[in-house]
Chain A
């Protein structure tokens, strides 16, 4: 079964840091581009960051650029999101999701989503 499983969420104070992980199984992780999408409480979906299959290309939403870093370890089938200088408006459920196309690039919709991990930024 194709699965993505996020972890690492929690409560953090403003200005703090957190590292999210997303463990993949059931598919050839190294051949897919992967993204992070978040959802603030009661709000819609917001794209956060994406990474190509090799890790050589990364993209960020303006709202997180310079504070968040996406990375992946294809030997461990795991995606990461390092989040620094966290703010209250980063509070959200963070989902990892894979591109539907196995080219390693961003060619298609997001076909598989993890169950999400909750990040709460509050003092």
Chain B
């Protein structure tokens, strides 16, 4: 089973600042890595797939990078609606499909 580890657990950022979230896989997942955003009481929403491809309707301030075992989600200028929990997920080697434990982005 591939273990996904996200850091930090909580990120405190001021509106307008950049946020950088990390995700590490216990073995290579190539670029088969997705990022999801989840707000309280809502279902997850796909942001990024293929490590760096934004999903339909996702603003350009969200960008993903990395391959193999190290990945990054960057939010270039945080908006109020971006405060949420973010999960990475690998879909390279399954079953199981595995998620990171999440990074909460909170208002500083």
Contact = CB atoms under 8 A, between A and B. Distances in A.
A44 interface: yes
Interface residues of B, number: 23
A108 B43 contact: no
B46 A100 contact: yes
B99 A46 contact: yes
Interface residues of A, number: 25
A35 B49 contact: no
B99 A47 contact: yes
A56 B49 CA distance: 26
Interface stretch (A13-21, A24-32, A111-119): A111-119
A48 to B, nearest CB: 9
A115 B97 contact: no
A113 B45 contact: yes
Interface of A: 35, 37, 44-47, 50, 59-62, 95, 97, 100, 106-116
Interface of B: 34, 36, 38, 42-46, 49-50, 55, 87, 89, 91, 94-102
11 contacts: A35-B97, A44-B87, A44-B99, A45-B44, A45-B87, A61-B96, A108-B91, A109-B89, A110-B36, A114-B43, A115-B42
Given A44-B102, A106-B91, A108-B49, A113 B43 contact: yes
Nearest to A63: B96
Given A50-B95, A50-B97, A110 B43 contact: no
Nearest to B98: A47
A110 B46 contact: yes
A85 to B, nearest CB: 20
A33 to B, nearest CB: 11
B93 to A, nearest CB: 11
A100 B53 CA distance: 13
Give the top 3 A-B pairs by smallest Cβ distance, nearest first.
A109-B34, A109-B49, A113-B43
